[in-house]
Structure 1
């Protein structure tokens, strides 16, 4: 195939500047470390829990965002999986031999058709589990594959990114994306991208080919993500597609229509509204147990207090802040605030299906009104909404705030993880930093190797 002119030039530059021999040597060592852990620990004798000291070095190989990694660390990709979730995945695979064997079959299989079937079997066994192992993006399984065998498995771990690359290269796939199983999608895109890149003149390992697509000048060609200069700093922004604009328009309409409205003319399901209020109540309870004072919007209190009974002094009647009236009014509408004396420590927007955009706008309003505010911001939603939240937060309106992009200040927490934190033993003795083990942040490239 003939490469687009702009890509052909970038391939030549990449080949001249990328030390493939040295990088492959590094990844041979990384793979050996991962395999030793997988075979000796995860698939080893089912004894005690795998401790953080055992899991974390391997998580640093799997995920660039893992605790302890730096810009110079060698990791598969940004997997968008919280540190705590990785630890639980590894321990679940260790404790549940049927699930562990299923992933082991995925890693070991070399025949494409059987590999796709093994992936589908893993997804079937894990169906209904919201544990980050078998999501629709394929991130986690693809990260395991790339760590196990970086020579033959791409570090482009997101199926969304794989599809965007193939569409940019105008590669015809031998399957229908809408009806193909997740196993077929992972296996076939892995093969198709490597074949296409080889035809374009770049040979070598799958790791080498993956790195090409995350060179900034190449990424902008296929991803629709651009870097702009703002006050002397580079800011990455995502330009939404028409389909995304339509979805956001529905969200905005729902926000303008008021609580309890899903879209013009349609009422939101009652159980959905109750769930968001239950999560607000859990966040209030967790914060209070950790010693924070709690703020809830006046309009939500009667419903939230059906699920949480505050102790004396735990729920604030007035925000003790010294901001102007406009800023204070904005802050008062945020779903849950944790305060330490007169300072906000964390702010939470609890979102149900349709209001992601309005929640991000409220966080952005706060930062725009008070650029120097130092508060940890969180969007809380169902785990199935994670990708959407992290994509919306890269929009230009959020990326070009005065101090820094909203994505650098705001993270995602899932409903399931809030429930898990709420059930943690000795919660009253824990620091709020425990939330950071569950939070997912957006980076410049959400699965960049």
Structure 2
């Protein structure tokens, strides 16, 4: 692009356009081309990552089932003061909506939603729906005759409370709280307080696995980085072997090794370390979960560490030694600080993978080795309480983002390198 200067002193392109405008236009065109080239990637991220997370977070607060099944009843309930038992008009309205044949599908979903709030509500709804069709006015007596719970104010308060299409009840349940029919937020009964304990266990196991992977991967990576290329490549194959083996196979292999009559216990008995009647319980508990997860996630720590260590010049250690530092001081003060980016990258990878693991804990963890991901899977596939599963997932996501922010403030994400 040739630039010319006219009498007005303005630099212009060959076509007479002011040079500043021509450069701005060229920059916009380059940005547009770059954006178009990245559009497929952005669309993939939107469809496969952002959209599912958004739907999960929406599912955690969405509860339209009761509002769809009983819109007229909820409208009448707004006039109820919450004292004593509602009037005949509310019972009659509910009877009409329960008797509506076109409303059968919504009634089932509403019963399930109410059952999440108060155990036994689904059976109450099913029983009442079957019998109320044959009832006649006064419907208040008919409802109470079917089940005495229809004569309790708390039953109607629960229905009115569930009538809101959006609720934070799932998040309250996810932190072992609940909302009473009166609206007060209280702690769950002690026998139901499991989720906070599982969150704490998941965090500590993830941190422990990350620390164990650092302790095991650091010497391995240092050895690979300092050995001759031929030997290092051969050893690297053994590091990569787990990636070529099914996760299920690796996990079940640990079951064979760790079980009471497994290989490790047999060896310990043969050596005489433990007696045959005192075999160590290493499976179906937290010990099995910790060992198996550390083994499976170890390569994710080795590879970032190795890629960073390989770029550290060997002259740095020799220079430190020549200046009077002993090997330990030279390693601690010269070599280790340069490996911090690799440690950070490996820690992020291992921790995020560990905090969401559920296959390995499900197979080798037993009841004591379960993590929060196993409970999320249970609610998604068995209890079908998707709101609670989404709330648990949302809290887990928020925790990971908070730890990521903390890591960025302390270490700095810009210092993380994969090689």
Specify if TM > 0.5.
Answer: no
- Give the TM-score normalised by structure 2: 0.24
Compare the two structures and name the one with the higher helix fraction: 2
- Give the TM-score normalised by structure 1: 0.23
